[in-house]
Chains A and B, each alone.
Chain A
Amino acid sequence: MRSSPIVTELPRTSNMTDRHLKRRRFLDRTAETLILASASIAMSIILLIFVYVGREALPLLWENTDGASIVSTAVPPLEWQPVSERPRYNVFPLLLGTLKVTLLAMLIGTPLALAAAMYTSEFAPPRLREWIKPAIELLAGIPSVVMGFFALIVLASWIQAQFGNEFRYNALNAGIALALAIIPIIYTVSEDALTAVPQHYREASLALGASRIQTAIRVVLPAAMPGVGAAMILGFGRAIGETMIVLMASGNAPALSLSPLSSARTMSATIAAELGEVVFGGGHYRVLFFIGTLLFVVTSILNWIGDRYNRRMRMRLFGAE
């Protein structure tokens, strides 16, 4: 979407000379160049990080150091035992752990965030809305290490008291804490999407005799669906990359189990826990960078799709610009 310049021609006032005008144009151009420079620096830093992470993992394609190669990350046994006399680098248990924890977080977080977004955009009185929105968005400001600590000490005991589970630290424990971390993102983006639905949609629906709840669910929600989809995808991207919460709450056992009450080891937590002690340039080091590359690619794709959905939403509601 290209935005046209806001002011095409500067208004000429009586005391404005040509010199003034030139100066203002010069300032405008300088500001534009500075902003462009900052944007390109940020872009190239991200690109360089990706190149660096990828480059550290790349030798896996043709090398086999300490039993680590691109093949060893995929062949059975499905075990993650990197510190061993006979290291096993299969990443499947980590993928499974990541998906398990992330999906649980989505299952818990999405309905809550969506319901809250629905309520604030469609039903809440404007004054209440002004309180609820910042309060939920404030959740995003809680450092993830605090959330992780809460899960480690409080939530784990609570879950164990409810279910009597063997694994004190498990995917559900991490999933709930992670849900708290992604609720603000899903809420903010989907609330914006719902609010952006033009008022006349609602008016038309109400005029045809639909109730407010019918209007919200059958008219507003479908109209805002691409935005809500984008919110979910962005939340998923945040959850899959979150490290500190899962490191503290999930028990980090690379178990092959689908049960939410068994322990899980995620990709991000594995990198955080192990990278500090690996031999620089060794097989284990390369596999950890390979996992990092995987995470980077997955989150980038998710963010890209989320962005596309968001654009499509705006196009649908306001027409292409």
Chain B
Amino acid sequence: MVQLGQSWAELYMKEHPDITIQVTAGGSGTGIAALIEGTTQICQASRAMKDTEKESLKTKRNLDAVETPVALDALAVYVNKENAVKSLTMEQVAKIFLGEVTDWKDVGGTPGNIVLYGRENSSGTYVYFKEHVLANKDFPTKYQALPGTGAVVNAVAKDKGGVGYGGIGYATDIKTIPITKDAGGMPIEPTMANVLSGAYPISRQLFWYTAGPAESAVKAFQDWVLSPEGQKVVSEKGFYPLKGE
């Protein structure tokens, strides 16, 4: 998401040479902590702010957090190109990543070990996947945590038994699996139309947070981000704009 913020900032600064925007990376928690401390005016987050975080903003700075969705993101389940599995149900995906299903033949593939790849526990993507797909249960100890979604994609591309998850924008050289919400339902591809309609089950909003309602320059930047021009950047970076294209 930091790349999205950087592109926004660069483009906006080009159009408004009198304005300087500094983008710092570090993960959702880092950004929220900076907002609480008052060292940033806008914080981007790929997860919603926790109640405890909202409370500490209130006690520290006596301000309410204002949440603005700025883009949509779908988490795709990646498998190797040679994988024979056509689609998976949400339940199967959960069982795979909980280590309860360990062979591809049990989910309609050719026999072979399932090897799990994903992000570190400091990543918003990890937390989102854990909460919304695994119902907050823990990943097994054989889960290989890699330092970025690019590394996950690379690992799955080279490992026939590999399975991983991550933003749809990163998916190159691998297969994304259509997901069925409930058993017997239709498998849904992670496409923009399906994400917008809410049919694809693993999608999330990306947020901007400000301490109190955005004002003056910050407000102008935020309005621009939500304008068609700002939303165009969203699709360029591999995410989905709020209202489609």
Interface, chain A (partner B; CB < 8 A): 79-85, 93, 152-153, 156-157, 160, 166-169, 247-248, 251-256, 262-263, 265, 273-280
Additional pairs, 6, CB under 8 Å, beyond known A83-B121, A255-B142: A81-B138, A167-B144, A168-B144, A255-B141, A277-B30, A280-B33
CB atoms of B115 and A166 under 8 A apart: yes
- Contacting pair B121 A93 (CB below 8 A): no
Q: Which residues in B have their C-beta under 8 angstroms from that of A279?
A: 29
> B20 at interface (Cβ–Cβ under 8 A)?
no
Q: Nearest chain-B residue to A254 (Cβ)?
A: B141
Indicate whether B72 reaches chain A with its CB closer than 8 angstroms: no
Known: A82-B121, A157-B158. Is A253-B30 also a contact (CB below 8 A)?
A: no
The docked-state distance in angstroms from the alpha carbon of A277 to that of B113 is: 32
Asked if B29 and A168 sit within 8 Å, CB to CB, the answer is no
B159 beta carbon closer than 8 Å to chain A? yes
A253 to B139 Cα, complex, angstroms: 10
Quick one: closest A residue to B141, CB to CB? A255
Chain A residues within 8 Å of B130, by CB:
83
A248 and B141 in contact, given A157-B158, A166-B115, A276-B26 (Cβ under 8 angstroms): no
A168 with B158: CB separation less than 8 A = yes
User: Beta-carbon contacts of B112-133 to A below 8 Å, as 1s and 0s?
Assistant: 0101000011110011001000
- Chain B positions near chain A (C-beta within 8 angstroms): 26-30, 33, 113, 115, 120-123, 126-127, 130, 136, 138, 141-147, 151, 154-155, 158-159, 161-162
| 17 A–B pairs (Cβ distance < 8 Å), ordered by A | A83-B126, A93-B141, A152-B151, A152-B154, A156-B158, A167-B115, A167-B142, A168-B155, A168-B158, A251-B146, A253-B144, A263-B142, A273-B120, A274-B121, A276-B29, A276-B30, A276-B122
CA distance A10 to B151 in the complex (A): 64
Distance A252 CA – B143 CA, assembled complex (angstroms): 8
> Cβ of A263 and Cβ of B144 under 8 Å apart?
yes
The distance in angstroms between the C-alpha atoms of A213 and B144, with both chains bound, is 46
Contact A85 to B29, CB < 8 A, known contacts A93-B141, A169-B146: no
Question: With the chains together, A303 CA to B159 CA distance in Å?
Answer: 40
Whole-angstrom distance from the CB of A153 to the nearest CB of chain B?
7
Identify which of A166, A274, A275 contacts B161 (C-beta below 8 A).
A166
Residues of B near A156 (CB, < 8 A) are: 155, 158
* Residues of chain A contacted by B27 (CB below 8 angstroms): 276-277
Instruction: Please tell me if the beta carbons of B122 and A274 are within 8 angstroms of each other in the complex.
Output: yes
Q: In the complex, are the beta carbons of A166 and B162 less than 8 A apart?
A: no
- For chain B, what secondary structure do more than half of its interface residues adopt (helix, strand, loop), or is it mixed? mixed
Determine which residue in A156, A167, A277, A280 has the highest number of CB atoms from chain B within 10 A of its CB, and name it: A277
Contact A253 B122 (CB under 8 A): no
Q: In the complex where A167-B115, A276-B29, A276-B122 touch, is A253 in contact with B145 (Cβ < 8 A)?
A: yes
Task: Return chain A residues, CB-CB under 8 Å to B162.
Answer: 168
Inter-chain CA distance A262–B162, complex, in Å, is 15
A248 CA / B147 CA spacing, docked (Å): 6
- By the criterion CB–CB under 8 Å, are B144 and A251 in contact? yes
Task: Across the A-B interface, give the 5 residue pairs with the lowest CB-CB distance, nearest first.
Answer: A277-B122, A251-B144, A83-B121, A252-B145, A277-B29
Residue of B nearest to A273 (CB): B120
Assess whether A84 is in contact with B138, with CB atoms less than 8 Å apart: yes
Instruction: Give every chain B residue within 8 A of A265 (Cβ-Cβ).
Output: 145
Cβ 8 A contact of A83, one of B127, B151, B161: B127
Residues of B within 8 A of A248 (CB): 146-147, 151
On whether the beta carbons of A277 and B121 are closer than 8 Å, the reply is yes
Q: Which has the most chain B C-beta neighbours within 10 Å: A160, A262, A265, A279? A: A279
CB pair A153 B154 closer than 8 Å: yes
Q: Which residues of B contact A93 (CB under 8 A)?
A: 141
A298 to B127, CA, bound (A): 33
Bound together, the chains give a CA A80 to CA B122 distance in angstroms of 14
Which residues of the partner chain B approach A166 to less than 8 Å between Cβ atoms? 113, 115, 161
List, in ascending order, chain A residues with CB within 8 A of B29's CB: 276-279
Residues of A within 8 A of B113 (CB): 166
List the A side residues contacting B154 at CB < 8 Å: 152-153
